[in-house]
Amino acid sequence: MVLREEAELLEPRTALGRAVRLCSSRARPMPDDETTLFRQSWTLYDALSAKNYMFHREIYACVAAILKERHDRGFECLLDLGCGNARFLAPCLLGSPPQRYEGVDLSAAALDEARGYLKGLAQFTLHQADMLEAVETRTEKVDVIFTGYAVHHLSFEAKQRLFHACARVLKPDGLFLMVDVVREEGQSREAYLEGYLGTMRTQWTEMQPAHLDEACAHVAAFDFPETLSDLTQMAKDAGLSQTRLLQRHAQHHLLAFTA
């Protein structure tokens, strides 16, 4: 998805956007067309996802199991905040479809591609909007809210607002599912970045050097992850009754917050 503070860079945020700086001014000239920029980004996106550097396979297999459980009980609407092109969530949805899916993202090009991945759903709606504004102004209740690798781009205050807004629009026993990176307890952002960038440089070995430079530049500029205790407190303050850590792979977490 494209977050507001990134929009001036024409940097579409997707499920893997945190590791993909779509256009580094040091690496290549900025295309004039946002659609061209988005299409170019997927060469890098595909390379990263194919290597599973951010554990998408494991995490989204768990997401699929959770949605199946919800589907078996019956659920009407899933709201996807920062949906990007919905590439990873779409198979989960097609296996356990809600009655209605709504995706929110600032990138028109990402939403255009999402229509292809979601075409098997009976009913879906895509909104080009800022994800925080979209959930804060929403009046209709939903059963499940999902967000993938997007929340860590928000400021601490904006994250607090997001939790309050999600708690307000979730139905009783509703579920807020978050895939994101998380800092260790007591770890500073600087120490987190040093560790994560070090992992990228030493373990993401099958990326082209220029692509790795772009990815590292994006993480250094736009990653602001919180600790698990901070996220848990935000949820509690917002009125979400339970926080569960469903999966953890290094810094990459799947969290569930229950209304």
Give the C-alpha separation, 49 to 57, whole Å: 9
Q: All domains of the chain, ordered by start, with CATH?
A: 1-259 (3.40.50.150)
* Triad 187, 159, 111: Cα angle to 5°: 115
Contact 103, 134 (CB under 8 A): no
C-alpha distance from residue 13 to each of 2, 42, 126, 141, 161 (Å): 4, 11, 15, 25, 20
Q: Is 122 exposed, middle or buried (0-12, 13-18, 19+ CB in 10 A)?
A: exposed
Q: What is the pLDDT along the chain (259 residues), one digit of tens a residue?
A: 555 544 444 333 433 344 333 333 333 334 445 555 555 565 566 667 778 999 999 999 999 999 999 999 888 999 999 999 999 999 999 999 999 999 999 988 889 999 999 999 999 999 999 999 999 999 999 999 999 999 999 999 999 999 999 999 999 999 999 999 999 999 999 999 999 999 999 999 998 898 899 889 889 999 999 999 999 999 999 999 899 999 999 999 999 999 9
